[in-house]
């Protein structure tokens, strides 16, 4: 089971608590996690990545195990701690503006 922590705005949009759990086939990647997330919560389609080209939105970042994974290829396997559910994948709205 993969744990995903969402920003507050997306929790409100999808009507979920701050952390959701998803069943994702191995090897889990950012792409497969987002696929599962969007199937379970269709309201999130287009809010984290583009719906057509699947590119991460510019002000969205991905963190796990203290590392910024945002610039890694989204098909890279996630760290074992995330794949095993020990650590969550964090979807974060980047700090921007005043």
* Pair type for strands 60-64 and 67-68: antiparallel
Q: Give the shortest CB-51-to-another protein separation in angstroms.
A: 5
SS3 category, 12: helix
Where do contacts with another protein occur on this chain (CB under 8 A)?
Answer: 7-10, 12-13, 42-43, 45-48, 51-52, 57, 59-60, 93-94, 96-97
Closer by beta carbon to another protein, 27 or else 46? 46
Smallest gap from residue 55 Cβ to another protein (A): 12
Query: In angstroms, what is the minimal distance from the CB of 58 to another protein?
Result: 9
Residue 6's closest CA among 72, 17, 82, 36? 17
Query: Which residue, 11 or 65, has its beta carbon nearer to another protein?
Result: 11
Between 9 and 75, CB nearer to another protein: 9
* Alpha-carbon dihedral sign for residues 12, 13, 18, 22: positive
* Shortest Cβ 88–another protein spacing (Å): 19
Beta strands in 51-95 (DSSP E): 60-64, 67-68, 89-93
């Amino acid at each position: 089971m993969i744990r995903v922590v969402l920003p507050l705005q997306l929790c409100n949009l999808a009507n979920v608590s701050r952390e959701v759990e998803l069943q994702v086939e191995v090897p889990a990647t950012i792409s497969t996690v987002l696929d599962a997330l969007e199937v379970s919560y269709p309201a999130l389609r287009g809010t984290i990545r583009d719906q057509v080209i699947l590119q991460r939105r510019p002000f969205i970042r991905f963190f796990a195990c203290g590392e910024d994974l945002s610039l890694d290829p989204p098909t890279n396997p996630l760290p074992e701690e995330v794949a095993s559910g020990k650590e969550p994948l964090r979807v974060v709205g980047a700090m921007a503006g005043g």
